[in-house]
Structure 1
Amino acid sequence: MDDNERLQFLIEKGNDVLKTYKPNPPNTFGFETLDSGQFIGWKTQALTFIQSILPSDSPYIEIFKSNVKKGFNTDVNEGIGILESVKEDLKLGLYKIKDEPTFQPATPLINIFEKFHIISRQLRNRYNTRPTLDVQDEYDLQNLLHSLLHLYFEDIRPEEWTPSYAGKSSRMDFLLKDFKLVIEVKKTRKGLTEKELGSQLIDDIGRYRSHPDCKTLICFTYDPEGLIGNPRGLENDLNRVDESGLIVKVIIRP
């Protein structure tokens, strides 16, 4: 059911509420009555719906709140009139429907990288010392990360070839083609200096700059032993939007 169909449904439901009207007997004092349960249900559905599709400062919302209160015939008629006006304006394109929030792939990815060390440590603690995955090298890192990516992504393409750079080509770790996003992962080791890691990351950035399916490059370096002396400094040096439009995000954890 699209928005216009939903509005029509609520208009018809309002008319059904009006049919519950029972006039007072002649020569008696009192108020006109509607079925209060049906009125409250319809009012709640109608207000919730227009709040979900219209910006919070829409005058339609404020008028509905102010005028549709007590459950008299006039309240329901004014509510129906508001719904009909919203429907008409939407069909004419005079009133913009609230945009649906779009999925931002970087949000779950950063959450995964922030929690990666905790997850890795937890995997080591198995009952009765049963076999487990201990992240000791980049292959272990890729294997665990690939599993975690399935929490949020359907199309995960590992080991795609990258274009030649400086006379050589290599494989990227993960391509999320739907989002034109590449994830490159590294694990620190003894002997890998901060300068060497920075040089590798710079080479990665240069390589992916010309890849047609890479508009965002996230370089995740897993440093469980804390071998990189100034991880925030290296991140700040390499995070950028370069001249080709490539967005680069370097994350070194923990």
Structure 2
Amino acid sequence: MCNIDELKDLLNEGENLLKIIESNNSMFRDAPCLDRRKTQEWKLKTLTCLKNTIGTEDELYHEFKKHTQTTYKHEIEKAVPTLKIIIKNLESNPKPKNNTSNDEIIETILNRFHKVVVELKELDLEIQKESDVKKLLKALLGIYYENIKVEEPVESYADIGSQIDLYIKDINYGIEIKLAKNSIQQRQIVEQINDDIQKYQKLPNCEKIYFFIYNPDFLIKNHASFDDLPPKTGNIEITTIVTPKL
């Protein structure tokens, strides 16, 4: 979650952007543009920060987003004061509307995933394959995050291309899914995760990876072996969640 100081840094960055006018070759020559690349980067960073601070339901979030659809100077001149108002509101009311961390959000979804699956059975919807788990999990994460990539490519490892199941680009978190079903052995899953950890250390811009082991038939009864998995790979944090548990 962003704090007020980070928002103030983004405000300064936005104010500096207004000083750099780019030549406009379009038909709207009387509407000067700002540096396109820097403005787009600023917009994405600020929207992500606002999403995790005031939430996407806040009117001021939508007001800021509306004025950053283009790089026209007259629009960004409206977006910057909106950001000032947001900061002022947060300073007068320090407790943000969304005070739940990304880890809490994701771990709540993963730990309650099986409860959702049980409820869906009443609608005759069955989760049978790993691809089904991936689709449902992406939908649940979509409540909180907008930019979720499916099977995001990972830099080649031992000349073999790899992909991580879900990559939440908003926060640079990855999720790898393992379905404990049929004849798969716990030892096999541990081996797969150890192999994945070596591959995914090359996942660019990733801060954390969750290994989500969905255990609908309670085939995994002893969770101690997962406690021995490394807590980090390179600079990436590793967390393993098994659900449901006996």
TM-score (norm 1): 0.55
Provide, for residues 22-62 of structure 1, a one-character-per-residue CA deviation record: whole Å limited to 9, x for no partner. Answer: xxxxxxxxxxxxxxxxxxxxxxxxxxxxxxxxxxxxxxxxx
Aligned counterpart in structure 2 of residue 212 of structure 1, from 196, 204, 207: 204
Q: 1:124 to 1:210 in 2, by over 3 A?
A: same
Supply the AA of the counterpart residue of 1:154.
Answer: E
Give the alignment's Cα RMSD to 1 decimal. Answer: 2.4
Question: Which residue is equivalent to 2:241?
Answer: 251
Structure 2: gaps of 5 or more residues:
5-92
SS in 2 for 1:169: strand
Distance 1:111 1:138 in 2: 20
Distance 1:239 1:106 in 2: 18
Aligned counterpart in structure 2 of residue 172 of structure 1, from 164, 175, 182: 164
Distance 1:117 1:176 in 2: 21
Deviation at 1:135, TM superposition (A): 0.7
Distance 2:131 2:116 in 1: 16
Q: 1:102 to 1:166 in 2, by over 3 A?
A: farther
Structure 1 position 133 matched with structure 2 position 140: no
Distance 1:164 1:102 in 2: 37
Question: Which residue is equivalent to 1:146?
Answer: 138
Structure number with larger C-alpha Rg: 1
Aligned counterpart in structure 2 of residue 187 of structure 1, from 179, 197, 208: 179
SS in 2 for 1:106: helix
Structure 1: gaps of 5 or more residues:
4-96, 127-131
Q: Which runs of 4+ in 1 moved over 2 A?
A: 97-104
TM-score (norm 2): 0.57
Identical aligned pairs, as a percentage? Answer: 29
Deviation at 1:102, TM superposition (A): 6.3
SS in 2 for 1:218: strand
| Greater helix proportion | 1
Question: Which residue is equivalent to 1:114?
Answer: 111
Structure 1 position 241 matched with structure 2 position 236: no
Provide, for residues 111-152 of structure 1, a one-character-per-residue CA deviation record: whole Å limited to 9, x for no partner. Answer: 1111111110110113xxxxx320111011111111111111
Distance 1:148 1:191 in 2: 28
**Contact 1:133–1:140 at 8 Å: present in 2 too?**
no
| Greater strand proportion | 2
Deviation at 1:229, TM superposition (A): 2.6
Q: Which has the higher contact order (CA 8 A, sep 6+)?
A: 2
**Contact 1:239–1:250 at 8 Å: present in 2 too?**
no
SS in 1 for 2:170: helix
**Contact 1:188–1:222 at 8 Å: present in 2 too?**
yes
Distance 1:188 1:119 in 2: 17
